[in-house]
Structure 1
Amino acid sequence: MMTETGNRSTVTFDRGYRATLDEVWELWTTKDGFESWWGPEGFSVKVHELDARPEGLLRYDMIATAPEVIEGMKKMGMPLSTPSSLTYTELTPKRRLAYRHAVDFIPGVAPYTVSTVVEFEAKDGIVRMTVTSDAMHSKEWTERASMGMASQLNKLDKRFQR
């Protein structure tokens, strides 16, 4: 869902998982957890550094792996492996985390950051996870980022089907 607040647009995703807070929190704060789901379908990630604390850095490579994704990346003139980083800005264990993601991989676009807040709430065996991110520099790239986030969250939907 896209929301406009003044000059700032955000995109929000809301999911519920039959999981524990520990399970969902570790997906965002551990190397194995992050590598297990981050990245849209057709991509994998390799984490190089993960320091889950305020101002801690998460550095990883986003790697195109599916043949159709590789072909699409080549057509867009984008590399098949892109170094990426985010800086955690807030961590309230098992309740809320926030980060700034460096957007420095788009040809012809000056680097900038996108802020994201993830909130967690457990109730009756369900962990509700709400992800709210700033819109990107253009409608097209906001839509691409939204499709990417939806795709990677779909991995979690499948993982926690019980």
Structure 2
Amino acid sequence: MTSDSTTPDLDVTRVMTASPEQIWAAWIDPAAIARWWGPDGFTSTVRELDVREGGRFDVVMQGPDGSTFENLYLFDDVEAGKRVSYVHQGSPEHGLAPSRSVVSIEEVDALSQTLVTLRSFYASESDRKKHLVDFQAAAGAHQLLERLEAVAVRGAGAVPATPEGP
């Protein structure tokens, strides 16, 4: 990773008005994750979602301009309702090496507030720049967590408020 492996290159948190159970339900339901995965303006088609150690998440994201981005994530550490760690397999067409992300889900209080933290570790300084500057990963991560909260609050199986909304 770009510095030492314990210091994330991207560290984004959000206190959500959803319980850990609601957030986890939005993580493990393919229809739900399709509504929140990615930054604003993107849609996602989930081809496979198996959230467990050794499981896979195969998703195609489509940008507002119609560009498609195929993504494959391999789960390497999963603690249901508390943590999910995965390795994005990289993107040769965009010159990105594999990167690792860890999402933690921690109950804040009994009022159904939950702290969700997303930390990503990139393979090199060049990859860090591509993610954070060229692809604006920090802004995208904030939007992703906002969308996750919206889906979790409505319920994983709920229908989106608008055809393009979470």
Q: 1:132 to 1:61 in 2, by over 3 A?
A: same
**Larger RCO of the pair (alpha carbons < 8 Å, separation 6+):** 2
1:35-60 alpha-carbon deviations (Å, 9 max, x no partner): 12011111110001111111111101
Question: What is the TM-score normalised by the length of structure 2?
Answer: 0.76
- Secondary structure of 1:151's counterpart equals helix
Asked if structure 1 preserves the Cα contact closer than 8 Å seen for 2:98 and 2:122, the reply is no
| Contiguous gaps of at least 5 residues in structure 2 | 155-166
Counterpart CA distance in 1 for 2:147 and 2:21 is 18
Q: Does residue 31 of structure 1 match 2:26?
A: no
Match of 1:126 in 2: 113
- Secondary structure of 2:61's counterpart equals strand
Equivalent pairs counted in the alignment come to 145
Q: 1:87 to 1:26 in 2, by over 3 A?
A: same
Q: CA deviation at 1:80?
A: 0.9
| Contiguous gaps of at least 5 residues in structure 1 | 71-78
1:51-76 alpha-carbon deviations (Å, 9 max, x no partner): 11111111011012x3xxx1xxxxxx
| Greater per-residue strand proportion | 1
Q: 1:17 to 1:5 in 2, by over 3 A?
A: same
Match of 1:154 in 2: 146
Asked if structure 1 preserves the Cα contact closer than 8 Å seen for 2:17 and 2:149, the reply is no
- Secondary structure of 1:36's counterpart equals helix
